[in-house]
Amino acid sequence: MGKFGKRRRGPWYGEDHARLVFEGRAREVFPALRRRVKRLDTKEGCSYIVDIDVPFYEVRRVEVFFSKGGWSDVPTILADGPTDSPHRFASFDRRSLCIWHPHDPREQRWTFQDGLLPLLGLVKLHLFREAWWRETGEWPGPHAPHAGPDNKQEIAA
């Protein structure tokens, strides 16, 4: 099998073609983007780590993690910095971003077929909205109601 051959088993990120299609132009826009296979909590998977320049605010370190099993095309998105936000999950010390409501129509949320670059764009927008909210108390954009910070089923836009 050549360097860019398809694996017979395993997750999408183990298949060179699938991974390159997913990554698309993300490395052009984010040259320091790193990918590695790792563990997050008790799950094994693929992690993309990148610093995102939030317009008018600070640079934030972001990790986009895709679990090896189950919902491997739905990422867990973690960000460093302040965690006070109405759009965070209680997991991972509130570093886990809640960017879209999973039951929103397709055009209002990210799907795996969109690729990594559009996902990172949504993360950048979300981090801007959080910073704006911390400064002004207003969330600039659509959002869904939340159950509460300790409810693991909470969802947001």
pLDDT digits (tens, 9 = 90+) for 87-107: 999 888 899 999 988 788 888
pTM for this structure?
Answer: 0.85
Taking only the tens place, the pLDDT of each residue in 51-78 is 999 999 999 999 999 998 756 778 999 9
Give domain 12-136's CATH number out of 1.10.3470, 3.10.110, 2.60.40, 3.30.1490. 3.10.110
Cβ burial of 19 (10 Å; 0-12, 13-18, 19+) is middle
pLDDT of 149 above 80: no
- What pLDDT does 154 receive? 39
